[in-house]
Amino acid sequence: MSKSYLANHVKELQPSGIRKFFDLASQMENVISLGVGEPDFVTPWNVIEASYHSLEQGYTAYTANAGLFELREEISKYLQDTFSISYNPEDQLLVTVGASQAIDLALRAIVDAGDEVIVVEPCFVSYSPAISLAGGVPVSVSATADNEFKVTPEQIEAAITPRTKAIVLCSPNNPTGAVLSKQELYGIAQVVRKHDLIVLSDEIYAELAYDEAATSIASVDGMKERTILISGFSKSFAMTGWRLGYAAGPVAIMQAMTKIHQYTMMCAPTMAQHGALEALRHGNESVREMKTSYRQRRNFVVKALNEMGLSCHLPGGAFYVFPSIKETGYTSEEFAQKLLEEERVAVVPGHVFGESGEGYIRCSYATSIKQLDEAMKRMDRFIKQNSKM
């Protein structure tokens, strides 16, 4: 069988650089992983219990394509209460299989072949491949450390061409933890309006902002009609494995996304939707507790990293820190690999999140303080032994 049956555009797609570290780390013993992009908490028990209950009651069939109406109502209420944006649960909300599916649907709904979509790097590894799979062309803009990994309106404007259709934003950010302030979002919104673009706003970490509450760009004047707000339950409610997210946006776009969803997915898992309903109705206290714990661990890790000589700003949200390793003289990849081999600590090299991530590593602090404490000790020893400073 010499013929390759693979589609060309899939063949061209590069496998994620994260995979390599997963393979390496999983073969070793006694590894402390700071490479995990998900909460260390188990889903709150009341959410699990509500999902059990729905199964006991026999809720095992499909739901409406757009998701349980009750759940859409709760999401609408949540967005109203949190960001003061109103979305009609009838036709402006879609429940998806994780925020990842929402991103895919949004791109497929708006991108024509050859359309350019701006992504702000360092960013989540899926954006560019999802743009390519939708037939678009990803255009990178680099947020840099000197601006605390926040993109500026000027940088965005410089990347805009007549083919630009949309921009993907993620705040609070994976992998940098950067949170765009209201003021910064205003600036970006101006450029977006001026050039008549759409924003895909990935707000999956919105609940996890520690110093100031996160703002949604959809709440900026004139932006609701050109924003697809994407979020979900994975990070805030520790529900990654449930695969439940949602999108909210203008009617025409949401109808188009629902159409694709209807043909390719039918609906999000029913038992997960019942769990999510409970999470939104009675999950506040759990979120507050988890948030306090993340904030304390963020403070701990940032202090410890700076003390050992890895310069690291205090990120406003998510559960990642993104310290510079430039002074060690290693590339991100070398650093991560040596650290794993010598001290059995897994981190993710920054370059997998985009070129501007080179010289940095992503450390997730969604791990017990006991483990973090030990990881910081090991890293400190590693820095001392590998110091070229």
Partner 1 sequence: MEQKEIELLKLLEKNGRMDNDTISKMLDVAPVEVEEMIKKLEKEHAILGYSTLVDWSTVYEYEGVAALIDVKVTPVRGVGFDKIASRIYRFPEVKAVYLMSGSYDLSVSVEGKTMMEVSRFVSDKLSTLDTVLSTTTHFILKKYKHDGIIFDEGDDDDKRIMVTP
Residues that bind partner 1 (CB under 8 A): 16, 18, 21-22, 25-26, 31, 33, 35-38, 40, 124-126, 174, 292, 296-297, 299-300, 303-304, 346, 348, 367-370, 373
Which CB, 25 or 199, lies closer to partner 1? 25
Report in angstroms how near the CB of residue 263 gets to partner 1 at its nearest: 27
Structural contact between residues 172 and 178, judged by C-beta atoms closer than 8 angstroms: yes
Residues 174 and 350: beta-carbon distance below 8 Å = no
**170 phi and psi angles, rounded to 5 deg:** -140, 110
The Cα-based distances of 194 to 197, 209, 225, 226, 250 in angstroms read: 8, 29, 14, 12, 19
Nearest distance from C-beta of residue 320 to partner 1, angstroms: 11
DSSP letter, residue 351: G
> Coil, helix or strand for 249?
coil
Percent helix, strand and coil across the chain, each rounded to 5? 45, 15, 40
Nearer to partner 1, 168 or 253 (CB): 168
User: By C-beta, is 18 or 133 nearer to partner 1?
Assistant: 18
Query: What is d(CA 16, CA 272) in angstroms, rounded to the nearest whole number?
Result: 28
Write out the E strands in 292-374: 320-321, 345-346, 348-349, 361-364
Choice between 51 and 92, CB closer to partner 1: 51
Indicate the SS3 state at residue 290. Answer: helix
Q: How far is the CB of 334 from partner 1 (least distance, A)?
A: 17
Among residues 220 and 318, whose Cβ is nearest to partner 1? 318
Instruction: Decide whether 274 or 297 has the Cβ nearer to partner 1.
Output: 297
CB of 205 to partner 1, least distance (A): 13
The CB-of-152 to partner 1 minimum distance in angstroms stands at: 26
Q: Which amino acid is at 319?
A: F
With respect to partner 1, which residue has the nearer C-beta, 33 or 164?
Answer: 33
What is the smallest separation between the CB atom of 302 and partner 1, expressed in angstroms?
8
Question: 238: closest CA among 209, 200, 207?
Answer: 207
Lookup: tokens for 111: 């991108």
Name the residue nearer to partner 1 (CB basis): 193 or 295.
295
Rounded CA separation 72/89 (Å): 5
Choice between 220 and 340, CB closer to partner 1: 340
Task: Quickly list H helices, 89-146.
Answer: 98-110, 127-133
Contact 271, 43 (CB under 8 A): no
Tokens found for residue 79? 């967005």
Give the span between the Cα atoms of 118 and 184, in whole angstroms.
17
Residue 16 CB, nearest approach to partner 1 (Å): 7
Give the HSE-up count for residue 17: Cα atoms under 13 Å, Cβ half-sphere. 20
In 3D, which of 225, 151, 159, 218 has the Cα closest to residue 188?
151
